[in-house]
Amino acid sequence: MTEAADAGLRRTPLHGLHLRLGARMVPFAGWEMPVQYGLGVLKEHLHTRAAAGLFDVSHMGQVILRPRSGRIADAAAALERLVPVDVLGLPEGRQRYALFTADSGGILDDLMVANRGDHLFVVVNAARAEADILHMRTHLSDACEVEPVSGRALLALQGPAAAAALASVAHGVDTMRFMDVGVFHVGDCELWVSRSGYTGEDGYEISVPADRAVGLAGVLLARPEVEAIGLGARDSLRLEAGLCLYGSDIDETTTPVEADLAWAIQKVRRAGGARAGGFPGAARILHELAEGAARRRVGLLPEGRAPMRGDTPLYAAEAGGEPVGRVTSGGFGPSVDRPIAMGYVPAALAAAGTRLWGEVRGRRLPVTVCDLPFRQPTYKR
């Protein structure tokens, strides 16, 4: 518990609030973050699915890409050099999931990109923010100013009660659709709101001026249906929703097709599309889109009650042989009330229903390949 007090960890504008709420603080991607509050991971998870959970995600990188020409299409076209995603076709007021790819076809980071009229707004992972900003400056500076947003916190409000709770503060957010973005004024305070999140629940991510973050969090937490939720529950929520954690489920060694993220690559960027290719790793990624990848990320259901954690080796047989794959994320899913995991397996073993074995503490325990997600999302499309 004292490790978080080590020097060098960054603190979000909500740090003091976390301590007042009794959070257990841990180091995460160079930041001192709340892993859980008094409720504990299990109840925090279930509360988010039943009502609303408030998360501090201020450690994530917020970046504005401002086109030098003043034309948003120039920023969008530039960003398309780095992601296999249709950014030019993203309408104003909309957000989309994207991936920075490497020349190898691997994934440098996953991100959200929003069209905010005269600029693009991207949110990247905390651990990758510095590298992503350098990457964008290196490749986009001819067309865009790459402006890391400082002085703003980022909150996520997730769960079935999120819309009513946030609408009580920011009128009109409840009419947004999934992946809409908009600016809302609360007094003289400007909120940048997207109807999105990373829990599989309806909800919002809210960029708020740093000096107003504690006030906004306090107003939301004063409502009985809203509880503060830590990184522990954030991880089990996203795992149940089948969502990837960068650094565990996806990284530079996994391609978008292997990671089962081909849905993030729109037709216009695929072979035969009007802007096919033109992103790092296009040769391999387009080939895998056409021919399939040699391995794939799948859902895994351990048959017993023992959780199967990340790095568990997977075998095709109960005895003998070499590992055929490995678990990349795994644990207990509180809402599905059973152990769940994700991992990579050869394409021939990736069909739902395939039986494999994961080696836990020297014993091979049966797991069944399943479709993702483990729990259907409740987005307001």
Least distance CB 235 / other proteins (angstroms):
9
- What is the spatial distance between Cα 141 and Cα 147, in angstroms, rounded to a whole number? 10
Q: Which stretch binds other proteins (CB under 8 A): 15-23, 169-177, 256-264, 332-340?
A: 332-340
Q: Interface with other proteins by CB under 8 A: which range of 6-14, 131-139, 263-271, 301-309?
A: 301-309
Residue 306 in the binding site for other proteins (CB under 8 A): yes
Taking the complex as a whole, how short is the minimal distance between the CB of residue 305 and other proteins, in angstroms? 5
Task: State the Cα–Cα distance between residues 262 and 276, nearest whole angstrom.
Answer: 14
Task: Supply the DSSP symbol for 200.
Answer: S
Tell the residue number behind the tokens 């960003």, with chain if given: 79
95 binds other proteins (CB under 8 A): no
19 versus 351: smaller Cβ distance to other proteins = 19
Identify the helix (H) or strand (E) that includes residue 217. Answer: helix 210-221
CB of 41 to other proteins, least distance (A): 4
- Tell the smallest beta-carbon distance from residue 374 to other proteins (Å): 15
- What is the closest distance, in whole angstroms, from the C-beta atom of residue 299 to other proteins in the complex? 18
Give the Cα separation of 243 and 346 in Å (integer).
Answer: 20
- Residue count at the site for other proteins (CB under 8 A)? 18
Q: Is 2 in the site for other proteins (CB under 8 A)?
A: no
Selected binder of other proteins within 184, 279, 315, 332 (CB under 8 A) = 332
Please state, in angstroms and rounded to a whole number, the distance separating the CA atoms of residues 339 and 366. Answer: 12
Report the C-alpha gap between 122 and 115 in whole angstroms. Answer: 9
Instruction: By CB under 8 A, tell whether 361 contacts other proteins.
Output: yes
The Cα–Cα gap between 150 and 62 comes to 8
The strand pairing partners of 352, in sequence order, are none
Closest CB to other proteins among residues 37, 344: 37
Of the residues 21, 42, 210, 268, which one makes contact with other proteins according to CB under 8 A:
42
The answer to whether 339 and 305 are in contact (CB under 8 A) is yes
Provide the sign of the torsion angle of the four alpha carbons 90, 94, 100, 106, taken in this order: negative
* Of 67, 83, 85, 84, nearest in space to 75 by CA: 67
CB atoms within 10 A of CB 291: 9
Q: Which region, judged by CB under 8 A, interacts with other proteins, from 40-48, 71-79, 194-202, 349-357?
A: 40-48
Nearest alpha-carbon partner for 121 in 82, 160, 79: 79
Work out how close the CB of 370 gets to other proteins at its nearest, in angstroms, rounded to a whole number: 19
User: In this structure, what token pair is assigned to residue 247?
Assistant: 């650094």
Nearer to other proteins, 196 or 335 (CB): 335
Interaction pattern, residues 312-331, with other proteins; x per rule: CB under 8 A: -------------------x
Q: H or E element: which one contains 341?
A: strand 338-346
CA distance 243 to 150: 27
Q: Is 305 a binder of other proteins (CB under 8 A)?
A: yes
Both tokens assigned to 279: 């992103």
Note whether 256 binds other proteins by CB under 8 A.
Answer: no
Beta pairing partners, 327 = 343
Tell whether residue 339 is a contact of other proteins (CB under 8 A): yes
Based on the shown chain and the rule CB under 8 A, indicate whether residue 61 belongs to the binding site for other proteins.
no
Among 41, 63, 193, 213, binds other proteins (CB under 8 A): 41
Residue 336 in the binding site for other proteins (CB under 8 A): no
Instruction: Establish if 84 lies at the interface with other proteins (CB under 8 A).
Output: no
Say whether residue 232 binds other proteins (CB under 8 A). Answer: yes
When asked if residue 309 is in the footprint of other proteins (CB under 8 A), the reply is yes
Q: How far is the CB of 306 from other proteins (least distance, A)?
A: 5
| Complete edge-to-edge strand list for the sheet that includes strand 144-148 | 95-101, 107-115, 120-124, 61-67, 144-148
Q: At what angle do helices 231-240 and 41-50 cross, to 10 degrees?
A: 60
* Interface positions with other proteins (CB under 8 A): 35-36, 40-43, 45, 232, 236, 305-307, 309, 331-332, 334, 339, 361
